[in-house]
Amino acid sequence: MASTDIDPLLLLRQSIASGSNIIPTTSADASSTDVPEASLSQATHLVFTHPARVAVPIDAPTRFVSNDKPVDVRSIYFAWLNREVAIPEYNASATKLNEELPGATHVHKFAFVERLELFTWLEGASEESEYIKPLAGDKDAAAAASAAAASAASKTAPVLASSRAGRGTLDPRLAQIYNGERRMGDRNTVLHGFKPTDFSSIRKQAQQFMSRKPSPAAAATAAIAAAGLGNPSLVINQKPQRRPDPIIMLSPSASALLRMSNVKAFLEGGRYGPPDHSSSASMMHVSRVMKDIDPGRPMRFILVEGPEQFKPEYWNRVVAVFTTGQAWQFKNYRWSNPSDLFKHVLGIYLGWRGEQPPDSVRAFGHQVISTAVEKWHDPTRLGAESSRWRDREVVESIWKAIEVHMRHKGWRKDTAPTQI
């Protein structure tokens, strides 16, 4: 495989999907099957074994861009190796690795959303990301085809036998036939011009022949043209921004019934199980179709236990907060006072059926809904499984409350609220 054809980011994604080995080494020879493995602070190359054995320089830039700078292969691979650890532990490990690296070399520390976008793309759950540039072969394919067609059409020189140097000699009679051809172009060639053409004046004249009630696009065009904002077609044809993912916050309390280890099975599968307190995951995502907001596609929700890596604008995406009633949970929140917090965000308390919610939860007010599941029993116990059928009913009530709150705050099919 030629070096110009190697895309480290795509190789890493393919290797993860196939479960093949990725070996950091100090050797650039990928042909040997006995490559000595080295630490990331000493390695000079990463050897990929799928779909072919390829050695990639570990400091090579990738298509992942952060703050307008491409992130190197070492930083991408190091972040993937630490995908299961909490963000503070990841930052500490990155600082330690930077101290071991020679010279001015250092690994990039990914922000909260950057890590989530990177892991989602590498796992194959997403085909695009705002941080990952498209491959050169896919970018502006239509423009490249148009330019190639225009270039071919502009060549009017006769086809000579000598012009096929390196590809064999062309028969003189066939060359004469080629010279008599009339070169045809496609619509891209015919419409190709030297500069963009502004058709805004034509739109103004056409509006009087259109229906009495103009379409939203025509109304927007007229408003932009009247305001003198330049070419309205450039504004209207802009690609709409992607709707951000809403965020649900969990309680980090050890007494919480929902933690990172069991929340996905509960919210997506409709079945409660006890949390695994040995789990160190700091974030994950679940999918849910919100019929009253976007019935055509599932909506992805980001689940976190704390706001340590939050930027100020992330708070506008928080749609629900699970709480146990302990006020210390909100210490680092944008609104540390529970009465202020639950004026902006829906609160959810999950307890055991038959037990009263704590007094602190009831004091938070009506913006905190109280739900309850059947107490967990050992599955081997007789009748333990029969009590779990109510779990789905509780999950549906939680999602319904979240959906109503999101609609009230301004979540729509293609837009999200800019302030809550």
Domain termination site, one of 122, 150, 176? 122
Rounded-to-integer distance, Cα 8 and Cα 76, Å: 10
Domain termination site, one of 75, 104, 122? 122
Rounded-to-integer distance, Cα 353 and Cα 227, Å: 61
In a domain, 168, yes or no: no
pLDDT on residue 148: 45
Same domain, 228 and 264: no
In a domain, 157, yes or no: no
CA 196, distance to chain mean position in Å, is 33
Same domain, 258 and 386: yes
Amino acid identity, position 80: W
Same domain, 395 and 261: yes
pLDDT on residue 196: 60
In a domain, 280, yes or no: yes
Contact 372, 394 (CB under 8 A): yes
Same domain, 403 and 257: yes
User: Given the structure tokens 């009017």, which residue do they identify?
Assistant: 156
CA 171, distance to chain mean position in Å, is 56
In a domain, 263, yes or no: yes
Which element (helix H / strand E) includes 174?
A: helix 172-179
Q: What is the residue-wise DSSP string for 366-416?
A: TTEEEEEEPPP--TTSTTTGGGGGGHHHHHHHHHHHHHHHHHHHT--SS--
Same domain, 78 and 224: no
| Residue partners of 258: CB distance under 8 A and separation at least 6 | 250, 251, 266, 275, 322, 350
Cis peptide before 307 (omega within 30 of 0): no
pLDDT on residue 186: 62
Inter-axis angle of helices 73-81 and 8-18, nearest 10: 30
CATH number at residue 296: 3.40.50.11990
Contact 215, 286 (CB under 8 A): no
Model confidence pTM above 0.85 = no
Same domain, 281 and 352: yes
In a domain, 332, yes or no: yes
In a domain, 417, yes or no: no
| Residue partners of 360: CB distance under 8 A and separation at least 6 | 325, 326, 327
Contact 393, 277 (CB under 8 A): no
- Which candidate, 349, 354, 389, places its Cα nearest to that of 375? 354
Number of domains in the chain: 3
In a domain, 98, yes or no: yes
In a domain, 370, yes or no: yes
Beta strands in 213-258 (DSSP E): 247-249
Rounded-to-integer distance, Cα 361 and Cα 325, Å: 5
Domain termination site, one of 193, 224, 241? 241
Ordered per-residue pLDDT tens for the chain, 420 residues: 444 468 899 999 999 989 898 999 998 887 877 778 899 999 999 999 888 889 999 999 999 999 899 999 999 999 999 998 888 889 999 999 999 998 888 999 998 888 888 988 998 888 888 899 988 765 554 444 444 444 444 443 444 444 444 445 567 777 778 777 776 666 555 565 555 666 677 777 777 777 555 555 555 566 555 555 555 454 455 555 678 999 999 999 989 999 999 999 999 999 998 988 777 778 889 999 999 999 989 999 999 998 988 888 999 999 999 999 999 999 999 999 998 999 999 999 999 999 999 999 999 988 899 999 998 887 766 655 667 888 999 999 999 999 999 999 999 988 888 888
Same domain, 392 and 253: yes
Which element (helix H / strand E) includes 318?
A: strand 318-322
Rounded-to-integer distance, Cα 245 and Cα 126, Å: 13
pLDDT on residue 281: 78
Domain with 209 in it: 202-241
Same domain, 33 and 71: yes
Rounded-to-integer distance, Cα 55 and Cα 25, Å: 9
Q: Measuring CA to CA, how many Å separate 194 from each of 109, 187, 221?
A: 45, 15, 25
pLDDT on residue 150: 45
Structure confidence by residue, pLDDT tens digits, 52-100? 889 999 999 999 999 899 999 999 999 999 998 888 889 999 999 999 9
Rounded-to-integer distance, Cα 54 and Cα 46, Å: 8
Same domain, 331 and 207: no
Same domain, 29 and 117: yes
Same domain, 268 and 343: yes
Contact 189, 154 (CB under 8 A): no
Same domain, 224 and 291: no
